[in-house]
Amino acid sequence: MQSRYAAAVVCLRVAAGLLLGGCAHGGGATGPGTAQLSLRSGPGLSVDGTLGGAATEVRLALEEPRSLLSSRCLGALPASEVQVRLPALQGGWQTAPEIPLTGVTVGGHPLPQFRAAVISDSSCVLWLGLDVLGRSVVDLDLDARAVNLSRAAPELPASLEQVQVDISRAPDSDRLLVAAQLTGSTATVLQTLIIATGRGSELAQFQARLLGAESVVRVVQLAPGWEACDVPVRSRSDWTRTPAIGVLGPEAWGARRAIIDLGASRMTLIRPKGAAPPPCRQIEDVGPAAPSKEREPR
C-alpha cells in the first residue's frame, strides 16, 4: 500500500497544478499560467471559493498530499464506493471516502473536476492539496494579503534580499520537510518539521514540553539571520510521526514574503534590503562589542 501511494504522489507531482490549467487524477485541461488570489482572515492560506455555487472557505494546503473536503460542506458523509488510505499528518494512516468534485472555483478561477477525500471537521472547508497544486510556484506575500500561483518563479528586484532554504520530500507522503532551529524557554534544538500552509504551527506535545514551548516558540529560524519571533503553536498529544516533530505555518518562516517552487522543491525567503532586525535576533548574530578604551586599575 505504501509503495503504491508513493508512486501515485510522484505522478501527481509531475503533473501541473489544476489551478494553472494542468491535470490531476487522470483529468486534464488547459488555461492561463497565473492565478492571483487574495487572502482572507483565517488560519493558513485561506481564500474565497465556491462549491456547487455555495460560498466555501478554501485553503491552499501544501501539507496535504491529497485534497480534502469537510463533511460539513455536504451535510453528511457520502456513500462512496471509493475508499482511499492516506498518510495522516500526525503519523499513521487513515481511511476516508473519496468523491469527485465539480463546480469548484477559487478566487473566481474555475477548476476542472477533481477528487477529494471526505473528512470530519467542525466547519465547511476545502483543502487543496499537492494533487491540485502540482508543480505550481507559490508566491506568498503576507503584507499584501495575497498569494500568486504560477508556472515559473518571478524575477526579484535588486532592492530585495533573499535566501534559499533547503527543503526535501517525505518518502511516504511527498510532504515538504525543512530543518528549523527552535528556541523555547528552556532549550534550543535543530529539528525537522513539515511546511504547512493550510493551518498554523503545531508541535508534538513531548518535544514542546522539552523546549518550553507548549503555546509559544520564542524563536524559529530557517536560515541564519531570518528569525520569526514568539510564534504561537498548538501542542498535539496525538503526534507520532518521525522524524518531523510538527508543522510550521507561514507565520513561522521568518519572512513576510516567501516563494515555494513545488516542482523544484525549493523555498526562498524574501525581505527588503536593510530591513530592521527582529526583536528576538539571537545575541550570537550580533557582532562583538568594541573593546573598552578604559584602563584596568592596577
Q: What domains can you pick out in the chain, each with its CATH number?
A: 2-149 (2.40.70.10), 155-276 (2.40.70.10)
Strand partners, 36: 148
Kindly report the pTM of this predicted structure. 0.84
The pLDDT of residue 122: 86
Per-residue pLDDT band at 25 (split at 50, 70, 90): very low
Quote the pLDDT of residue 285: 47
Give kind and range of the element (H or E) at residue 105.
Answer: strand 104-106
Q: Is the pLDDT of residue 44 over 60?
A: yes
Share above pLDDT 90 across residues of the chain, in percent, rounded to a whole number: 72
In the DSSP assignment, the letter for residue 154 is P
**261-270 average pLDDT score:** 96
Residue 192 has pLDDT above 50, yes or no: yes
Residue pair 280/218 in contact by the 8 Å Cβ criterion: yes
The answer to whether 194 and 239 are in contact (CB under 8 A) is no
The pLDDT of residue 15 is above 70: no
Name every residue whose Cβ is closer than 8 Å to that of residue 171 and which is 6 or more positions away in sequence: 6
Residue type for position 285: D
Task: Evaluate if residue 195 carries a pLDDT over 60.
Answer: yes
Average pLDDT over residues 250-264: 96
Q: What is the mean pLDDT of the chain?
A: 85
pLDDT score of 79: 72
Q: Is the pLDDT of residue 259 over 90?
A: yes
Q: Which residues contact 193 (CB under 8 A, 6 or more apart)?
A: 177, 178, 179, 180, 244, 245, 246, 247, 248
106: confidence class by pLDDT, cuts 50, 70, 90: very high
Q: Sign of torsion, CA 113 136 37 267?
A: positive
Task: Answer yes or no: is pLDDT of 17 > 70.
Answer: no
* φ/ψ of residue 82, rounded to 5: -100, 125
**Residue 177 predicted with pLDDT over 60:** yes
